[in-house]
Amino acid sequence: MGELKGQVAVVTGAGRGIGEAIAQRLASMGAAVVLAARSVEDLNRVRGSITAAGGEAEAAAADLQKESSIAALAEMVRQRYGRCDILVNNAGVGKIGRPLHEMAPEDWETVMSTNLRGPYLTIRAFAPLMIAARSGHIVNISSLAGHNPLKNGAAYAASKWGLNGLTYSVAEELREYGIRVSVVAPGSVNTKFGGGAAEHGERKIQPVDIAHVVAMLVTQSPQSFVSEVLVRPTRKA
């Protein structure tokens, strides 16, 4: 498939899980994919897999909690490609398992910095490239926890409720430039997010399911866009 040939996609949290699946899918559709995450080892593995399949990818180590790191990533993309057609904000952390009153302030800061401040910084860094081109698509990966209460995961839920509100508002700010902003909110996905192996993994949403949704979003006809997609497993675990 070559629907995205000539386009450049930046995917955060691309070293594993959902981010890896999204990067693989966009590359298979012809996009040049910039893989962003902290683990160079993971990024190189994903890059090798994409290039072995005939795709184009570049690994870019980045710390999404640091403004300078994101600014450097955007400048590299600007100099190397001169454009950014797709930005997928996928990187996230959970810190799930304790009630809020037992949560350490530093853990709260990590969740908010990664899940909410990170997308703000990437949008701030990459939107000017899209505005200049008067086109582009930003996809934020949220969670059903951004719509429902999550016992022992209040900080995570708060970050995702915030990400949803950010998405809806930025969509209104950027639509006049032909830029579409969408949010994907999955339920429990079969990844090692949060630490261990997933129980009943075969019943959970798979990373490729989310990649399929992102592929659908970024290939829509230009006169419309989907604001939000909620993804639930067919069978409850």
DSSP 117-167: IHHHHHHHHHHHHHHHHT-EEEEEE--GGGTS--TT-HHHHHHHHHHHHHH
**How deeply is 79 buried, as exposed, middle or buried, from its count of CB atoms within 10 A (0-12, 13-18, 19+)?**
exposed
pLDDT tops 70 at residue 237 = no
Q: What is the mean pLDDT of residues 11-20?
A: 96
Where do runs of H (alpha helix) occur along 55-104?
67-81
- Residue 195 is predicted with a pLDDT of 44
Say how many C-beta atoms besides its own lie within 10 A of residue 22's C-beta: 31
| CATH tag, 8-231 | 3.40.50.720
In degrees, to the nearest 5, what angle opens at C-alpha 92 toward C-alphas 196 and 8?
A: 120
DSSP symbol at 55: -
pTM of the model: 0.93
Q: Dig out the tokens for 29 from the structure.
A: 């559709």
Question: Tens digits of per-residue pLDDT, 26-56?
Answer: 999 999 999 999 999 999 999 999 999 999 9
- Residue 196 is predicted with a pLDDT of 43
In degrees, to the nearest 5, what angle opens at C-alpha 63 toward C-alphas 139 and 41?
A: 95
The helix/strand/coil state of 40 is: helix
Contacts of 35 (CB under 8 A, 6+ apart): 11, 14, 15, 19, 23, 43, 46, 47, 57, 58, 59, 60
Catalytic site residues? Answer: 156
**pLDDT tier, 235 (very low <50, low <70, confident <90, very high otherwise):** confident
Tokens 């594993």 -> residue = 16
Amino acid, single-letter form, for residue 96: I
Alpha-carbon distance of 231 to 132, in angstroms, equals 33
- Residue 129 is predicted with a pLDDT of 98
pLDDT tops 70 at residue 65 = yes
Question: Tens digits of per-residue pLDDT, 170-216?
Answer: 999 999 999 999 999 999 886 655 444 455 567 789 999 999 999 99
Length of the chain: 237
Contacts of 165 (CB under 8 A, 6+ apart): none
Computed on alpha carbons and rounded to an integer, the radius of gyration of the chain in Å comes to 17
